[in-house]
Amino acid sequence: MAAGKKRRAKARVKSARELIQQLYNGQYKGKQLLIKRELTGAEYDQLLDEIAADPLLREYFNDKLRSDYTRNRKEFILRMPSTLYDTLAEEIGRNIYEQLERIIGRKVSDISAVPAAAAAKGIRGKGTSEIKFLVPKGRSPDRKGPDKAFHHRECKFPGVVIEVA
């Protein structure tokens, strides 16, 4: 029974690794822009170790793919970049910046505008920067790779995260 579990675990890691390799090699034939795989925390750690062992694949995985991992759901998600998604995320981000500028530029005669303007000045875009969440020592952190995020300088995590679907 334990041997069967180990084989299935190894097969899940291999399947995820092969998918990433196919994407890297331009051999992925699927049409999905969002791919989900079930991986336990240990399997996810193993996948990251295998990716890290190949410098070119590691660079591709870190720079070109957007991925999420949620340990309590055992969910590994790969999102393929596309021009449409990137354009839409940029447009949404631009609109948010315009709104922030309007808030900052409000006339001071409106008393409620003062705290709002001060808060708006502390907000910066994070782009697609990866967000890592703390987990017990020795494990890879849960991570999210949003399409766009906005972060206030006094907060630990972004207050606004945009996922284009």
* Residue indicated by tokens 């070109």: 64
Q: Measuring CA to CA, how many Å separate 53 from each of 37, 47, 59, 86?
A: 21, 10, 11, 29
* C-alpha of 109 from chain center: 41
pLDDT band for 161, please (50, 70, 90 cuts).
Answer: confident
Residue pair 77/36 in contact (Cβ under 8 Å)? The answer is: yes
Distance separating alpha carbons of residues 57 and 80, to the nearest angstrom: 15
The CA-based angle 130-133-135, given to 5 degrees, is 140
- Rounded to two decimals, what is the model's pTM? 0.70
CA distance 48 to 26: 20
Comparing CA positions, the residue from 40, 29, 50, 24 lying closest to residue 135 is 40
- Give me the residue label for tokens 């994407």: 23
Give tens-digit pLDDT for 91-114: 988 998 898 888 888 765 565 667
Three-state SS at 109? coil
Which amino acid is located at 131 in the chain? I
Per-domain residue ranges of the chain: 1-81, 83-165
Model confidence pLDDT, tens digit, residues 6-32: 899 999 999 999 999 999 998 988 888
